[in-house]
């Protein structure tokens, strides 16, 4: 082998080996950085949504209490229709605690109360109702099978029941969208879906309490978790937290494959630099 070929091979290898190592290093560092950034960003988004939902739950409870007290006192307030609409109330009903017969109603023209609360619902309402505080039920099937949630309160030996739609949760979830499949998911205190990009899951109030991140939310934990999503059929990373007072759960998941894609883009750029460097070194050698 002639000396010039030996020099050519030696110089090419001398240039290739270190740049290959430097090409692999940016990929691992880029992926780690993506994981770190997503963990912080998604957790912050989940906490912001939790704060919004906590304010909403307080507003719903306070409004429900005020309007119920006025109904019991037979006092009429102006502008109640607009107040109920803004907080997504369908109606408020006051029923006898003995048999569930409805005694007085609010917002009757838009969404009438039944004459009697259905026995199964009445039993659920009575089991969780308290004179000390307004309680949220889990999400249930409403008119036309649309999801609804109820607030209940015991007052003067009567049962006050307010029905609210899940529109607020859905609209709040839709406001969070990023990447190809990054989204927000909101569940009630039993893990039933209140907001999710899969409309069928929202419509059927799918229970996802077995998802590891949801399990931790329902235990009132806050953090970051990785898990397999049966909805998107992909491994996900999610920031999650819970909503004080209402005990709902919020998580912001994103597929790990999207983070790998971004890290791969960094590696492709590094490989282009490596190839260009090797070509220049080969020409010089």
Q: Residues 171-186: pLDDT tens digits?
A: 999 988 777 777 899 9
Angstrom distance (rounded) from CA 89 to CA 150: 9
| pLDDT at residue 48 in the model | 94
| pLDDT at residue 32 in the model | 72
Where are the chain's structural domains?
A: 57-165, 168-258
Class of domain 57-165: alpha beta
| pLDDT at residue 13 in the model | 72
Indicate the pTM of the whole model.
0.81
| pLDDT at residue 75 in the model | 83
107 within 8 A of 184, measured Cβ to Cβ: no
Residues of the chain with pLDDT under 50: none
Q: What is the pLDDT of residues 206-253, one digit of tens each?
A: 999 999 899 999 999 999 988 888 777 788 888 999 999 999 999 998
| pLDDT at residue 24 in the model | 59
CA dihedral 53, 110, 71, 104 (to 10 degrees): -120
Angstrom distance (rounded) from CA 99 to CA 107: 22
Domain 168-258: CATH superfamily is: PAS domain (3.30.450.20)
| pLDDT at residue 169 in the model | 96
Phi, psi of 110 (to 5 degrees): -90, -45
| pLDDT at residue 233 in the model | 79
């Amino acid at each position: 082998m002639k000396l010039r070929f030996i020099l050519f091979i030696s110089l090419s290898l001398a240039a290739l080996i270190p740049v290959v190592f430097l090409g692999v290093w940016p990929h691992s560092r880029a992926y780690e950085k993506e994981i770190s950034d997503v963990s912080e960003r998604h957790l912050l988004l989940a906490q912001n949504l939790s704060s919004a939902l906590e304010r909403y739950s307080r507003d719903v409870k306070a409004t429900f209490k005020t309007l119920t007290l006025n109904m019991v006192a037979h006092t009429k307030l102006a502008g109640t229709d607009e107040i109920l609409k803004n907080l997504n109330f369908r109606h408020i009903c006051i029923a006898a605690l003995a048999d569930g017969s409805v005694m007085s109603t609010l917002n009757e023209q838009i969404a009438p109360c039944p004459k009697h609360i259905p026995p199964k619902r009445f039993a659920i309402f009575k089991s969780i109702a308290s004179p000390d505080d307004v309680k949220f039920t889990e999400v249930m099937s409403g008119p036309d099978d649309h999801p609804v949630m109820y607030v209940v309160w015991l007052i003067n030996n009567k049962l006050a029941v307010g029905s609210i739609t899940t529109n607020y949760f859905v609209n709040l979830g839709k406001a969070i969208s990023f990447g190809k499949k990054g989204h927000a998911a909101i569940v009630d205190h039993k893990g039933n879906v209140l907001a999710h990009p899969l409309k069928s899951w929202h419509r059927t109030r799918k229970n996802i309490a077995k998802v590891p991140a949801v399990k931790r939310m329902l235990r009132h934990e806050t953090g970051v978790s990785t898990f397999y999503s049966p909805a998107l059929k992909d491994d996900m990373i999610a920031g999650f937290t819970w909503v004080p007072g209402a005990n709902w759960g919020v998580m912001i998941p994103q597929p790990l494959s999207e983070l790998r894609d971004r890290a791969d883009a960094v590696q492709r750029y590094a490989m282009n630099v490596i190839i260009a460097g090797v070509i220049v070194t080969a020409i010089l050698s």
